[in-house]
Structures are given as C-alpha cells and as structure tokens.
Amino acid sequence: TLQLVGAGLGSAAVVAGAAVSSSDSGSGSSATPDTTAPEITSGTTAAAIDENSGANQVVYTVTATDDNPVTYSLSGDDASLFTIDSATGDVTLIADPDYETQSSYSFNVVATDEAGNTSEQAVSLDINDLDDTAPEITSGTTAAAIDENSGANQVVYTVTATDDNAITYSLSGDDASLFTIGAITGIGAATGEVTLIADPDYETQSSYSFNVVATDEAGNESEQAVSLDINDLDDTAPEITSGTTAAAIDENSGANQVVYTVVATDDNAITYSLSGDDASLFTIDSATGDVTLIADPDYETQSSYSFNVVATDEAGNESEQAVSLDINDLDEVEPTNTFTSAAYDEASNTLTLTGADMNTLLFDGEDATTDIKDNLNWDNLTWDINTDNNDSNNVNFSLSDIDSVYVQDDNTLTITLTNTAASSLEGSTDFDPLTSNDSITISEGFSSDTAGNISTTDGMERDTSIVVFDLVNGTSSSHSDRSFDANVSYTIYIVVDSDTNSLNNNFATWSEANNLGSDDLILLVGNDASNPIVNVGGITNVRTSSGGILLWETSLGSAARFTAGGNIRREVNNSEGGAVDLWDGGWSYPNVPAQTSVNQTRPFLNTLPAGILTSQGLV
C-alpha cells in the first residue's frame, strides 16, 4: 500500500504493509514502521465451569493493548471446539460441557493488530465434575403378591437403590395415590418402604401399578414401574338354600328324630352347627346338616322351637339362618270305651259288649264293616265276668281264639270267637245270660283310638309280659329297659335278619334279666317269611349248653347263641358272625330241662306273629 501524504497534513503513511509515521518538517516527510505486537492482558486460565451447564456459553474473554485496532482469533489443540468474537475477544464453548467426556480444554488466543503483528497466549479451561449420575434402582419390578383382606397400611414393597450421595424416594404412576412411601435420606440408605393404604380386596381391585422414583441430592432421578397382584381368597360365606321353617311334626312322635336338614352351597367343604335360643335341645350332624330334636316333642310342654343353623366353609366364612319348628297338637285324651253290659250268643259264638265311645277304636276309613281284630291285642286278654250273684270268673283268650271284631255303633262292640274257643265255653256258666246289672270288663291288654291313644278300659294296660327286641330295625318294646318281674311269665321275641349273620346295634339295651327263668320263653325270629332264619339253612334244634348258653342250631352247626352274659351271637358254620350285649347287668341263664330240647313251644319263628307289633305300640 502506498499512501502519499501532502506536506503539512500530519498523517501517517503505510507502505508495503508496514505502518509508517510522517511528520511535517517544513521541507519534506519521513515514515516509521509499526513492529510492536499487541500485549495480551487476560489470564492464561479461564474460570472453570460446571459440566452440563449449557452449550454456547462464553467461557473466556481475551483482552489486549495496542496502538492500533486488534482482532482476535484462536489456535491450538481444542480451538475447533470454540468460537471467538474477533472484535470483542469473547470465547464461546460450542458444546455442553461434560466432565466425563472432557474434563479440561486447551486453546490459544491470538491478538493481531492492523500491522499484522500478533501475540499468542495459551489458555486452559477446567470443567467441574458434578453429580450427574442418577441412582440405580436395584429392587425388582414386581412386588410379592398379598392376600385380599390381609389388612390396611401394610408394607407391600421396599425400593432399594445405590448412589454416591443421599437418596430420597417418591411415587408416581396410575395408582400412586393409593400408597405412601417413606422418604429416606442418608448415603447408602435404601429402605423406601411402600405402604398400601387400604385393606386389599380382590373383587374391588385385583392388581396395582405404581412407579418408584429414586432422587439423589443433585436432583438426578431414576424411575421404575412396579406391579402388585392381590391373591383371590375365599371370602364368600356359604349360601344357605334350605328354608326358614322346618316341617311341623306331631307331638309324641318320638325322641331323636331328624326334623330339619340344612342345605348350603359353597366352592369348598361346609360344616354345620347350631346356635340360638333352643339350640341346646337339638343336635346337628356337622357333615350332613341333619338337625335332630333330642326329646320326644310335647305340644303342652313346648309348642314351637327356634334355632339357628350355621354353615361354615374351610376359610371360616359363615352364614346363619333362623329356623322355626312347630309342634302339632294332637288328641291325647284316652278313649272311654268301658263296657257296662254284655251278652253272649252261643249260636253265633258272638259276644256283644255295650258301652261308650266304641268309635274311638276305628282308624281312618274304617267303619262297621271293618274287622278291627288286628287293631287290638287279645293275647293273654283277661275277661272279668261279674253276674247278679256277685261271682267272678276270669277267662283268658289269645289272638288265635278271636275270629273277628266289629264296631257296630258307638255303643256296641261285637266279638266273634272261633269254633274251638266257643266250644270250650258251651255248657259252662261263664257266659250265662247276663242282666243289666251284670258287667264284663277287660282287665289286661289294650286298644287304641284313631289318634293312637291307648285305652285303659277299667284298668286295661299294655301287656308287658310280651317283649320285642328288634336287632334289625331297633324298634324294641318301650318297656324293654326295665327290670323283669320274677312273678311274670315272659315271651321274648328277638328279631334278627333272616338273610345275614350280622347284627345291627341300632337299639337300646334292656336293664337286667336276673328275674328270667324256666317259665320265660325266648324266641329267635326272622324278618322275612320267605327265607329261613339264617342263610345256611333252617334251624333244626334249640338247646342249652354248659354254662347256660341257649343255642339255635342248623344242620351245619350253631346258627345263633344267647350267652349267659346276655349276648346274642350270630354264627355260620360255628364261626362267630357278630355279637350284641343285650343287658346292662349280669345274667346267668338257668340250665333247665324246659330249654334243652326242641320240644319247647315255638323256639324259633320266621316272622313275628300277627298283632305282636301292634300290641307293643310299634306300628
């Protein structure tokens, strides 16, 4: 560059890039070249900046002095990572600093004046290492499943995380509001317990989703999704489907009868029990739900019962239902069919009795054309005949002596004897014509009315000399639990199963038999007229053995034995097939001739004689 300056102008001239100064000397001019480089006055170290503090930030400003304008530029190793404002000297770091990527920078700032003189200075920039690493969550993504109904405010999950600094925990996500979390501080602490606020219920919500958040002191955070499942338990009580009212039963219908059966449904096994006002008066089968009234119901004592049936499943869930049972009030008034007069017609073998309330001997559907002989017990019946001259004769009849019995009307009962029985009376004075002042009464035996009431006609009572002991159905005579009278001759029917040698123990025991003797008859009776009494053949002999054992024998050996200890044993081919103890007390059967051979009367029967069950009130 050639710059000519006129004399007296006082301007500088620059030639060939060299600054030249000129002064007015009055006669000519001279030029001095600028050879002095700018002096950089800013330091060699830029102020350190934090990592992650942002991109495009000014990190250093170069300053320099010179007589002429200065422009700035960069050089050096990391110069490409910066920009510089050539006029202001501001140095800008292009990228966001990251300590882990580059912890320091080195660059040169260059100051150049108009004459091209340059100064250069090395500058270093350090990056501050900050905590920019989020905590690492080490606990799982699935909480251990919990049972429904297991309780409110229980800890269901514990978040654990690692970090070089203290951690705090929090929750986020869909169900976060249903939980609380303990915020834990302190380096290395990792107990963040997550608590489910409400008592879990599978039917309401079967699973939960929430996020656990771990945050360190620098604000770095990690988040992890967690799921919690609820176990579906049996929390549904059984449904009782049986009714609230038991079918009414008749009074005097018997003790220990099933009066109600509770029925319930559930997915699991059910057990049954009782509660309520009258629960102690019943028993219940915990498996079948059968409810049994313990006592014989009596309307006058208690006309109705109230109890609760309880159904409980295996999980302990229970349902309860109140049940009522009514007792039917029956006619319990004894009939008054006493006989005030009698007449006997030898031509027809008919005894006509006159009295009152004869119709009470008729059952439903029966009338004057019905032979009611089987309704009555005539075995060992005693007739007490009183005539005008006050003599008294007792005549005994058995069932086989009676041909027919008819109620002619409410005041008249006719009894026709068999020809055999009648012939024994013909010519006797027992049935001489009776006058209105004479009477005939029944002093032993019994009858019953349509309501089942026993008639005690002028002292008539049940014939207790007959005893039925049913080892098949358990329907034994009601008086079979008393002591025997040594002055009474008993006929004892022991009913066994015709088709098996086993014995059923569903019956009550007699109290004692120490008063039984040679005048008492023990009969083994089958329950099937079409079969012999045991399955090995018919009984051919009855005898007593040593020790007072009464034996029923077949062609193959002993079929049954009645021991001195009061045991009934059923046997086949002399092998024991079962034994039942009939007595509560000890007894020794007498070894007497009347019981040692088959010549005793009817030692065994295939079925009970007609009228026996009626006589004992068992049908």
Can you give the CATH number for the domain in which 159 is found? 2.60.40.60
pLDDT of residue 397: 61
Burial letters for 446-467: b for 16+ Cβ neighbours within 10 Å, e otherwise?
bbbbbeebebbbbebebbbbbb
Task: Write the CB contacts of 343 (distance below 8 Å, at least 6 apart in sequence).
Answer: 351, 352, 433, 434
The answer to whether 444 and 471 have CB atoms below 8 angstroms apart is no
- For residue 556, pLDDT over 70 is answered with no
Question: What residue type is 610 in one-letter code?
Answer: A
Strand 161-162, strand 290-293: pairing: unpaired
Task: Write the CB contacts of 219 (distance below 8 Å, at least 6 apart in sequence).
Answer: none
159-179 pLDDT tens trace? 999 988 889 899 999 999 999
Maximum average pLDDT range among 283-297, 426-440, 535-549, 592-606: 283-297
The predicted model scores a pTM of 0.41
Strand 45-50, strand 392-397: pairing: unpaired
The answer to whether 64 and 76 have CB atoms below 8 angstroms apart is no
**Do 372 and 448 belong together in one domain?**
yes
pLDDT of residue 463: 58
pLDDT of residue 123: 97
Specify the 3-state DSSP secondary structure of 81.
helix
- For residue 78, pLDDT over 90 is answered with yes
pLDDT of residue 188: 39
Band (156; pLDDT cuts 50, 70, 90): very high
The mean per-residue pLDDT over the stretch 428-439 comes to: 48
Give the chain's domain count: 6
- For residue 563, pLDDT over 80 is answered with no
The mean per-residue pLDDT over the stretch 54-58 comes to: 96
pLDDT of residue 478: 59
460 belongs to a structural domain: no
Specify the 3-state DSSP secondary structure of 532.
coil
Which of residues 71, 104, 128 is at a domain's end?
Answer: 128
The rounded mean pLDDT for the chain is: 74
566 belongs to a structural domain: yes
**Do 6 and 45 belong together in one domain?**
no
**Do 544 and 570 belong together in one domain?**
yes
The mean per-residue pLDDT over the stretch 116-137 comes to: 93
The answer to whether 377 and 611 have CB atoms below 8 angstroms apart is yes
Query: How far is 554 from 542, CA to CA, in rounded Å?
Result: 9
Task: Write the CB contacts of 22 (distance below 8 Å, at least 6 apart in sequence).
Answer: 5, 10, 11, 12, 13, 29, 30, 31
**Do 162 and 144 belong together in one domain?**
yes
pLDDT of residue 536: 43
| Residue whose pair of structure tokens reads 């300056």 in the numeric block | 5
Question: What residue type is 23 in one-letter code?
Answer: S
State the CB neighbour count (10 A cutoff) for residue 409.
Answer: 9
**Do 67 and 165 belong together in one domain?**
no
The answer to whether 419 and 438 have CB atoms below 8 angstroms apart is no
pLDDT of residue 439: 45
554 belongs to a structural domain: yes
Band (205; pLDDT cuts 50, 70, 90): very high
Band (155; pLDDT cuts 50, 70, 90): very high
**Do 477 and 587 belong together in one domain?**
yes
298-319 pLDDT tens trace? 999 999 999 999 999 998 999 9
The mean per-residue pLDDT over the stretch 585-609 comes to: 37
Task: Write the CB contacts of 6 (distance below 8 Å, at least 6 apart in sequence).
Answer: none
**Do 471 and 607 belong together in one domain?**
yes
515-528 pLDDT tens trace? 555 566 666 777 76
**Do 420 and 496 belong together in one domain?**
no
Task: Write the CB contacts of 152 (distance below 8 Å, at least 6 apart in sequence).
Answer: 196, 197, 198, 199
**Do 53 and 111 belong together in one domain?**
yes
What's the token pair of residue 362? 């008729």
The answer to whether 140 and 158 have CB atoms below 8 angstroms apart is no
Specify the 3-state DSSP secondary structure of 441.
strand
What's the token pair of residue 393? 């004769």
333 belongs to a structural domain: no
Lowest mean pLDDT among 100-114, 115-129, 315-329, 542-556: 542-556
The mean per-residue pLDDT over the stretch 76-92 comes to: 96
H or E, element range at 421: helix 419-423
The mean per-residue pLDDT over the stretch 444-470 comes to: 50
413 belongs to a structural domain: yes
Alpha-carbon distances of 141 from 49, 155, 212, 223, rounded to whole Å = 39, 16, 10, 11
Domain hosting 350: range is 339-455
360 belongs to a structural domain: yes
Closest CA to 322 of 237, 242, 235, 236: 242
The DSSP letter of residue 612 is: H
Task: Write the CB contacts of 222 (distance below 8 Å, at least 6 apart in sequence).
Answer: 134, 135, 136, 137, 161, 213, 214
**Do 226 and 243 belong together in one domain?**
no
439 belongs to a structural domain: yes
**Do 472 and 563 belong together in one domain?**
yes
Closest CA to 556 of 543, 539, 579: 539
119 belongs to a structural domain: yes
239-298 pLDDT tens trace? 999 999 999 999 988 999 999 999 999 999 999 999 999 999 999 999 999 999 999 999
Specify the 3-state DSSP secondary structure of 79.
helix
pLDDT of residue 404: 87
- For residue 436, pLDDT over 50 is answered with no
**Do 219 and 288 belong together in one domain?**
no
Which of residues 95, 128, 161 is at a domain's end?
Answer: 128
381-429 pLDDT tens trace? 555 555 444 445 555 566 677 888 888 888 888 888 887 767 665 555 5
pLDDT of residue 492: 74
Which of residues 436, 455, 474 is at a domain's end?
Answer: 455
pLDDT of residue 474: 63
Beta strands in 173-248 (DSSP E): 179-181, 193-196, 207-216, 221-231, 239-240
